[in-house]
């Protein structure tokens, strides 16, 4: 029973597989060509999928250089197949003339932070280095993720101009910044999570993961990411908190979270939005009534969201649907 509960929660956190893993290097889908399992860096460890990406290239005639949307699914940093999330987004966004790149980063059992940040930055540099080959515009790259994939997306966005955080993974040379971020309920400030969990949510979290101290537990996903109990290393935790790096140089953001999220408290998105607003960064924040920690937050059937905008932000829609995200990206990437 314990294993069943753990599996159910991890799947709720968008864990490992939401689409079948491609087995061929190049296959075709509805309206796109898929180049699967491209290595943006050598595997580390040898059996890891954490340095692979999939490219979904629109098949219809279009511009010579298309904008890129990087997609990363969450797993509580426990999985190394985040690129599978892109299979859900590719049919819609390739029709809109985006190249969709599903990117995997290493799990917390394979490598500790900051490895996951170094991985996504290596993938971004790889995409720029191969932009001509695959018809991508290196000046227009956006990143999107949910849960821990949202954390990775936000970290990539807010550290893009910090060369000290580029790491030494994979391709060097091209910049690793991005021009827009879509964050679906990603954690942003680890040590504040437990105090803002919904009533009873920590009890459910503890039962599912066999913990006693919720996110602050020495065996929590966040502690596993850092390789140490987060409550004992506040200075280290600060370096892993996306909110630490928000600055006026951060790119435009679209944030979405469900009001009933029982895994990542909405305070995490509230604080990110407040930091972006204070820094003068264009940002739109959707808080969706009745929605939980679930990729279906982008469904048109969700109720209208409570929407907040910073000064200068685009106003793409009343719900964080794929159409709304497309409108946000079109505006954010217009001047690439």
Residue at 216 is within a domain: no
C-alpha separations of 74 from 18, 127, 256, 258 in Å: 11, 21, 15, 16
Residue at 202 is within a domain: yes
Residue at 54 is within a domain: yes
Quick: pLDDT tens for 250-307. Answer: 999 999 999 999 999 999 999 999 999 999 999 999 999 999 999 999 999 999 999 9
- Can you give the residue range of the structural domain that contains 113? 2-211+240-332
Residue at 193 is within a domain: yes
Residue at 230 is within a domain: no
**Residues 188-215: b if buried by 16+ CB within 10 A, e if exposed:** bbbbbbbeebeeebbebbbebbebebbb
Indicate if the pLDDT at residue 8 is higher than 70.
Answer: no
Residue at 235 is within a domain: no
Half-sphere exposure of 157 (CA within 13 A, CB side): 38
Tokens 């399992």 belong to: 37
Quick: pLDDT tens for 135-146. Answer: 999 999 999 999
DSSP type of residue 96: T
Separation between Cα atoms, residue 104 and residue 111, nearest integer Å: 13
Which residues have C-beta within 8 Å of that of residue 85, sequence separation ≥ 6?
Answer: 14, 18, 19, 71, 72, 73, 102, 145, 146, 149, 295
Which residues have C-beta within 8 Å of that of residue 66, sequence separation ≥ 6?
Answer: 58, 97, 98, 99, 135, 136, 137
Structure-token pair, residue 158: 């807010």
Q: Give the SS3 label for residue 129.
A: helix
Residue at 225 is within a domain: no
Q: What integer best gives the mean pLDDT of the chain?
A: 92
Quick: pLDDT tens for 137-184. Answer: 999 999 999 999 999 999 999 999 999 999 999 999 999 999 999 999
CATH of the domain at 102: 3.40.50.1820
Indicate if the pLDDT at residue 198 is higher than 60.
Answer: yes
What order of strands is seen across the sheet that includes strand 180-184?
26-29, 32-39, 52-58, 99-103, 66-72, 136-146, 180-184, 253-258, 283-288, 306-309
Q: Are 257 and 150 in contact (CB under 8 A)?
A: no
Q: Provide the number of structural domains found in the chain.
A: 1
Q: Are 11 and 23 in contact (CB under 8 A)?
A: no
Residue at 228 is within a domain: no
Quick: pLDDT tens for 76-108. Answer: 999 999 999 999 999 999 999 999 999 999 999
Quick: pLDDT tens for 203-236. Answer: 999 998 899 999 999 999 999 999 999 999 999 9
């Amino acid at each position: 029973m314990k294993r069943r509960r753990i599996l159910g929660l991890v799947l709720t956190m968008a864990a490992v597989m939401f689409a079948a893993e491609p087995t061929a290097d190049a296959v075709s889908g509805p309206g796109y060509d898929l180049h699967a399992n491209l290595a943006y860096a050598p595997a580390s460890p040898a059996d890891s999928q954490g340095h692979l990406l999939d490219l979904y290239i629109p098949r219809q005639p279009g511009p010579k250089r298309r904008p890129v949307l990087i997609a990363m699914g969450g797993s509580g940093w426990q999985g190394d197949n985040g690129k599978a999330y892109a299979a859900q987004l590719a049919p819609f966004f390739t029709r809109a003339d985006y190249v969709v790149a599903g990117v995997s980063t290493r799990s917390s059992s394979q490598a500790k932070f900051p490895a996951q940040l170094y991985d996504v930055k290596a993938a971004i540099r790889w995409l720029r280095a191969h932009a001509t080959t695959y018809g991508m515009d290196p000046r227009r790259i956006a990143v999107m993720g949910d849960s821990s994939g949202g954390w990775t997306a936000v970290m990539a966005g807010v550290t893009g101009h910090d060369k000290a955080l580029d790491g030494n993974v994979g391709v060097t040379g091209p910049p690793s910044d991005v021009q827009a971020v879509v964050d679906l309920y990603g954690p942003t400030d680890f040590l504040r999570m437990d105090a803002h969990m919904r009533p009873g949510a920590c009890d459910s979290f503890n039962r599912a993961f066999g913990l006693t101290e919720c996110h602050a537990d020495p065996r929590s996903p966040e502690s596993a990411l850092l390789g140490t109990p987060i409550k004992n290393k506040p200075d280290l935790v600060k370096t892993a908190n996306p909110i630490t790096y928000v600055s006026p140089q951060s790119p435009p953001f679209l944030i979405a979270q469900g009001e009933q999220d029982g895994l990542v408290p909405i305070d995490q998105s509230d604080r990110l939005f407040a930091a972006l607003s204070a820094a003068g960064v264009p940002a739109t924040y959707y808080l969706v009534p009745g929605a939980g920690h679930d990729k279906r937050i982008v469904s048109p059937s969700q109720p209208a969201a409570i929407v907040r905008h910073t000064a200068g932000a685009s106003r793409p829609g009343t719900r964080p649907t794929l159409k709304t995200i497309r409108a946000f990206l079109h505006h954010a990437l217009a001047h690439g």
